[in-house]
Amino acid sequence: MAASGLPPLPPQFKPIQHFLRTAQELEKREPVVAYYCRLYAMQTGMKTDSKNPECRKFLCKLMDHLEAMKKQLGDNEAITQEIVGCAHVENYALKMFLYADNEDRAGRFHKNMIKSFYTASLLIDVLTVFGELTDENVQHRKYARWKATYIHNCLKNGETPLSGPIGMEGEFCDDQNEEDGSPALPNQESQPSSSTYESSNVPASSYTGIHIPPGAHAPANTPAEVPHNTSVTSSTLQPTPQNIPIVDPSLYNVQPSGEIRLTPEDFARAQKYCKYAGSALQYEDVSTAVQNLQKALKLLTTGRE
């Protein structure tokens, strides 16, 4: 991959090519997510092979590119503060997941939703640059990869996929599919389309074992092309009004008790909720913002979540 001034990708780094390609596709509309995709690729490459001259040359160029991006985005809190960056990437991954999940449940199977499922799984991998994944994100990643592979194979074989979770029979990403670092998905070389997509009228959904926040919506400009034969049009779709959760009346004018002893961990968690709320507001997701602010307020005033 010679994009963005990088030398050709060494064969040893084939597993990270999809992260670099995703970064390239998101370069203009989501530079923060693109930055962390490249950071994940560099960290993975360092673990894979940092001694081979060809690999070392590639990693040095990638590191220079990351430094240039960091300088360009230097005033962005999502770059300077990891907790904000984590919330930003996680929020975008979830919204992309929801776009694909809503299309799936509506029975609209097309290349864009397949790639959105798979890209969401890649972005959850990227979250490991901030630390260990939550159980919820692990389940989202597993489901997204399985769905992407399952629907792609159905369409390839001329079969009609079944919507929603249907059992996840067997391992959807076996060793053969992961020889090149990804499931056997449609051509990943395609460039993102210029069409803009907002959330559809399909309500946000959830499936067994995984919680999806109510009121969450898909991001604009999902990264894959939408074929002309789908029911999704290229015009901007207007989102349905969000169901904003009612603020718990008990939280009004509440003052922390003198007996409350907040730990540094409590303050860190409260800060995390506030950052998540700020990230949600970037996507005009009022419901998620309110929920996280309520969590932070309850923690600070009661010492409990």
- Enumerate the domain spans of the chain: 249-302
Alpha-carbon torsion (193, 194, 200, 204), positive or negative: positive
**Is residue 241 classed exposed, middle or buried when 0-12, 13-18 and 19+ CB atoms within 10 A define those classes?**
exposed
Report pLDDT for 110: 94
Task: List the end-to-end C-alpha distance of the chain, in Å, as a whole number.
Answer: 46
Is pLDDT larger for residue 229 or for residue 92? Answer: 92
Q: Is the predicted pLDDT of residue 186 greater than 50, yes or no?
A: no
pLDDT tens, residue by residue, 34-46: 999 999 999 999 9
Report pLDDT for 258: 56
CA 284 and chain centroid, separation: 17
3-class SS of residue 38:
helix
- Which segment of 11-25, 132-146, 238-252 scores lowest on mean pLDDT? 238-252
pTM: 0.62
* pLDDT tier, 8 (very low <50, low <70, confident <90, very high otherwise): confident
Is pLDDT larger for residue 251 or for residue 46? Answer: 46
Q: Is the predicted pLDDT of residue 220 greater than 50, yes or no?
A: no
Report pLDDT for 305: 77
Report pLDDT for 93: 96
Report pLDDT for 153: 95
Which class would CATH give 249-302?
Answer: mainly alpha
Is pLDDT larger for residue 129 or for residue 276? Answer: 129
Can you spell out the DSSP letters for 199-262?
A: --SSPP--BTTB---TT--PPSS-SS---TTSS--SSPPPPPPP-PPPPPGGGTT----TT---
**Residue 207: what are its φ and ψ, rounded to 5°?**
-135, 170
Cβ–Cβ < 8 Å for 41, 16: yes
* pLDDT tier, 22 (very low <50, low <70, confident <90, very high otherwise): very high
Report pLDDT for 135: 92
Q: How many angstroms separate the Cα of 158 from the Cα of each of 32, 153, 182?
A: 38, 9, 22
Report pLDDT for 185: 52
Q: Is the predicted pLDDT of residue 98 greater than 50, yes or no?
A: yes
Is pLDDT larger for residue 192 or for residue 76? Answer: 76
Report pLDDT for 262: 80
* pLDDT tier, 246 (very low <50, low <70, confident <90, very high otherwise): low
The listed range with the strongest mean pLDDT (52-56, 233-237, 274-278, 301-305) is 52-56
Q: Tell me the average pLDDT of the chain.
A: 74
Q: At a CB cut-off of 8 Å and minimum separation 6, what does 264 contact?
A: none
Nearest alpha carbon to residue 99 among 87, 89, 113: 113
Is pLDDT larger for residue 144 or for residue 182? Answer: 144
Cβ–Cβ < 8 Å for 100, 120: yes
